[in-house]
Amino acid sequence: MVNIKILNYRLRFLEDIVFKEEPEIAFLKAIFNRLKNILCVNKRDECRLCSYRERCLYNYISAGDFECIEIMPIAVDKPLFSERTFNKDDILELNFIFLGDAATHTDFLNYTLKEFETKGLFREGYRFLIENAAKDDVDLPEGDKNIKGIEILTPIDRIENIFRAEREKADRLNRLYNITDRSISEIEESYDFDAIKFDIKNPLYMGRNRIMRKGYVGKVEFKTPVPNNILLQILDVIGMGKFYGIGGGQIKLCMN
């Protein structure tokens, strides 16, 4: 059993809009800012210092107002480069990934996005229409093909001991959010990583977290093909690295 859900939205803009940052990140920030206003009972303190943190839904879904971004229960899909300029009637596809028990809270995100549809986005009140909304269960059947490599499409934060770190991340996420009842095994096969360093100079501010997005894209090639196990299947959905929650570590599995 795997418990991951994806919310997909197809948005059509009703006027021209130029985003100051990637639209996927802009929507994620706007949604969580609104949810903080709705759910947070103590906006003066940082989540980690708040006496309500263990009982606070906002602390849970935002991983402590993004302070613990490496354990986000909700992630957004994002390409390496996002179009920021949209004309009237242009379309934006938004995908949000909910891990395990966090999927019980999809209604909050859906409500917030519909509120933006009604009232407008940002202070400017940009108008858009939700043309389609769907919630899908992620099905991860037992893999019957081996994987010879992985294309890393958006940056990950390391080049060494990648799969040991990813197994530790997956185990931690599973303990926190109950993603799967299947055993998550480490990939011990050695690999070559033809890596290109990627560095965005401007920091990204998420909640109280200042994030410097540095990392590596490129292709991992295993010395010997490895089974398409549950770890690779989860990473194929949520992404690799510690910035998966904001679109980092998007991958493509290369079958043998």
Region 6-27: mean pLDDT is 95
Say if residue 155 is in the same domain as residue 31: no
Q: How many CB atoms lie within 10 A of CB 166?
A: 23
Radius of gyration for the alpha carbons in the chain, expressed in angstroms and rounded: 19
Per-residue confidence (pLDDT) for residue 169, from 0 to 100: 96
Q: Is the distance from CB of 58 to CB of 39 less than 8 angstroms?
A: yes
Q: What tens digit of pLDDT does each residue of 95-105 get?
A: 999 999 999 99
Same domain flag for 83 and 132: yes
173 and 226 inside one domain? yes
- Whether 208 shows a pLDDT value over 70: the answer reads yes
**Spacing of C-alpha 243 from chain mean position:** 8
Q: Same structural domain for residues 120 and 152? A: no
Mean pLDDT score of the chain: 92
The residues, ordered by sequence, that sit 6+ positions from 56 with a Cβ below 8 Å of its Cβ are: 39, 40, 41, 47, 50
Determine the average pLDDT of the residues in 26-41.
Answer: 92
**Predicted pLDDT at 143:** 66
Mean pLDDT to the nearest integer, 111-123: 93
pLDDT higher than threshold 90 for residue 34: yes
Maximum Cα interatomic distance, the chain, rounded to a whole number of Å: 54
Q: pLDDT tens for residues 137-176?
A: 998 777 678 999 999 999 999 999 999 999 999 999 999 9
Mean pLDDT of 199-224: 88
Q: What CATH number should be reported for the domain holding residue 205?
A: 3.30.70
**Residue range(s) defining the domain that contains residue 69:** 4-137
Q: Which of 137, 162, 186 is the last residue of a domain?
A: 137
Same domain (yes/no): 84, 12: yes
* Between 41 and 170, the higher pLDDT residue: 170
Distances (CA, A) of 155 to 95, 98, 110, 207, 218: 18, 21, 28, 21, 9
Say yes or no: 83 and 128 in one domain.
yes
- H/E element, 135: strand 128-137
pTM of the model: 0.93
Domains contained in the chain, number: 2
Among residues 93, 111, 137, the one where a domain terminates is 137
Contact 214, 178 (CB under 8 A): no
Are both 32 and 99 inside the same structural domain?
A: yes
As a whole number, mean pLDDT of residues 218-232 equals 94
Report the percent of the chain where pLDDT is more than 70: 99
- 157 and 112 inside one domain: no
Residues 185 and 248 in one domain: yes
One domain, residues 121 and 160: no
